């Protein structure tokens, strides 16, 4: 994907160019997703497939500092409500 | 607007009117009452309402009467299966007896969530607003 | 409007709605509206012991704003069609 010539003029262009690509989505609360993006709208509602969800678990260590662990979960096809989305990141090109 | 209602989900609540319903609110409250009216925002009128609290396998209820509930506070509206209701394996106790236990449960949950949000905010860059008013 | 249309095509399919309070409800999608409020029939709540108030509930109305995810049957959507429709809608948005 050549972002320089494809013309990113507004924020949603970035996510349009990520259609049919694996994206990373960070959500409010305690969750992150990766999955193949198939649809979105202006609310940033998303439809993704082959989703892997990472849920953060905080173990309350005695004396303040908690340690963060996580569990993973897989889902075939998922609608994600836009109001929970913090960021969408296109596939890494590394 | 009236003509639009049958085509919306809140329009599909027609068959729930005059039935015993459960309403779960965003602050976690559970209300049981008879649905008398609703509109496209899911504003609800609930009559003969009781509030229920739970702790493990017991519950208690308190009469709260007639309500108009503003739609934005509604999480879920459930139709009670009256046959199934009789089979619910829970024991009812006095409200005043159960209230301290229920308060302990909710306080502990709130503290856990605040701690978690704080840790995730500091260590993992999550938004603390994740749990904002979503204690239901 | 796009997502609303997708949900309309999913009527009578079994879906899993996950709420922001971590409640998971499996049921048959009966209807949906422009706010993505959802009506589910014949529901089953996972971990019922933690949600005893749901035991006697058979059908329910879920306010769209409290939904985190909806898991949908993968074979019920044509992903190519979805992407094309999304590009078309995005184009219409910018032309406005």
B131 pLDDT above the threshold of 50? no
pLDDT over 70 for what percent of chain B?
86
ipTM value: 0.94
| Other beta carbons within 10 Å of B94 | 9
Q: Which residues share a beta bridge with A58? A: A68
Please return the burial class of A38, using the count of CB atoms within 10 Å of its CB with bins 0-12, 13-18 and 19+: buried
- What's residue B5's pLDDT? 47
Decide if B38 contacts B8 (C-beta within 8 A): no
- pLDDT band, very low/low/confident/very high, at B3 (cuts 50, 70, 90): very low
Q: Which of B52, B57, B75 minimises the CB distance to C66?
A: B75
- Check residue B8 and give its pLDDT: 57
What band does C88 get if pLDDT is binned at 50, 70 and 90?
very high
DSSP state of A51: E
* Nearest-neighbour CA in chain B from C49: distance (Å): 8
Q: How far is A5 from chain B, CA to nearest CA, in Å?
A: 32
Interface probe for A, chosen from B26, B116, B123, B125 (most Cβ of A below 10 Å), is: B116
For C32-44, the three-class secondary structure string (H helix, E strand, C coil) is ECCCCCEEEEEEE
User: Is A77 within 8 Å of C89 when comparing Cβ atoms?
Assistant: no
Q: How far apart are CA B60 and CA B103, in angstroms?
A: 13
pLDDT digits (tens, 9 = 90+) for B34-50: 999 998 889 999 999 99
Give the span between the Cα atoms of A4 and A6, in whole angstroms.
Answer: 6
Interhelix angle C2-9/C79-95, nearest 10 degrees: 150
Mark yes or no for CB contact B119/A30 under 8 Å.
no
Summarize pLDDT for C29-62 with one digit per residue, the tens.
999 999 999 999 999 999 988 999 999 999 999 9
Alpha-carbon Rg of chain A, whole angstroms? 15
User: What's the CA gap between C50 and C52, in Å, rounded?
Assistant: 6
- Closest CA in chain B for residue C40: B78
Position C21 pLDDT exceeds 60: yes
Strands A67-80 and A46-59, how do they pair?
antiparallel
Cα atoms found within 13 Å of the Cα of residue A47, Cβ hemisphere only: 24
Q: What is the pTM of this model?
A: 0.88
Of the pLDDT bands very low, low, confident and very high (cuts 50, 70, 90), residue B28 is very high
Per-residue pLDDT of B82-120, as tens digits, reads 888 888 889 999 999 999 999 999 999 999 888 888 888
Cβ-based contacts of A60 with chain B (< 8 Å): 112, 115
Mean pLDDT by 10 residues, chain A (94 residues): 62 91 94 96 96 91 76 97 95 66
Measured torsion, CA atoms of residues A66, B125, A15, C68, in degrees rounded to the nearest 10:
50
């Amino acid at each position: 994907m050549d972002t320089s010539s494809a013309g990113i003029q507004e924020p949603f262009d970035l996510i349009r160019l990520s259609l049919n690509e694996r994206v990373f989505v960070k959500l409010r609360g305690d969750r992150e997703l990766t999955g193949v993006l198939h649809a979105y709208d202006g609310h940033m509602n998303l439809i993704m497939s082959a989703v892997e969800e990472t849920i953060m678990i905080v173990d309350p260590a005695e004396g303040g500092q908690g340690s963060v662990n996580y569990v993973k979960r897989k889902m075939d096809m998922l609608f994600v409500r836009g109001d929970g989305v913090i960021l969408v990141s296109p596939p890494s090109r590394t | 607007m009236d003509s639009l209602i049958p085509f919306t989900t809140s329009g599909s609540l027609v068959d729930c009117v005059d039935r015993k319903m459960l309403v779960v609110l965003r602050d976690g409250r559970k209300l049981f009452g008879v649905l008398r009216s609703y509109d496209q925002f899911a504003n609800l009128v609930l009559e003969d309402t009781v509030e229920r609290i739970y702790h493990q396998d017991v519950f208690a209820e308190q009469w709260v009467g007639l309500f108009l509930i503003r739609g934005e506070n509604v999480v879920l509206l459930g139709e009670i299966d009256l046959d199934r209701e009789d089979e619910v394996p829970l024991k009812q106790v006095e409200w005043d007896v159960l209230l301290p236990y229920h308060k302990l449960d909710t306080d502990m949950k709130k503290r856990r969530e605040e701690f978690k949000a704080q840790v995730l905010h500091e260590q993992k860059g999550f938004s603390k607003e994740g749990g904002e008013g979503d204690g239901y | 409007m796009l997502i609303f249309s997708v949900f309309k095509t999913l009527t009578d399919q079994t879906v899993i709605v996950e709420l922001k309070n971590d409640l998971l409800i499996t049921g048959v999608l009966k209807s949906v509206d422009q706010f993505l409020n959802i009506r589910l029939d014949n529901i089953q709540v996972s971990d019922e012991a933690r949600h005893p108030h749901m035991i006697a509930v058979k059908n329910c109305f879920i306010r769209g704003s409290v939904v985190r995810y909806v898991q949908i049957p993968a074979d019920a959507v044509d992903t190519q069609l979805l992407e094309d429709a999304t590009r078309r809608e995005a184009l219409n948005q910018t032309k406005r």
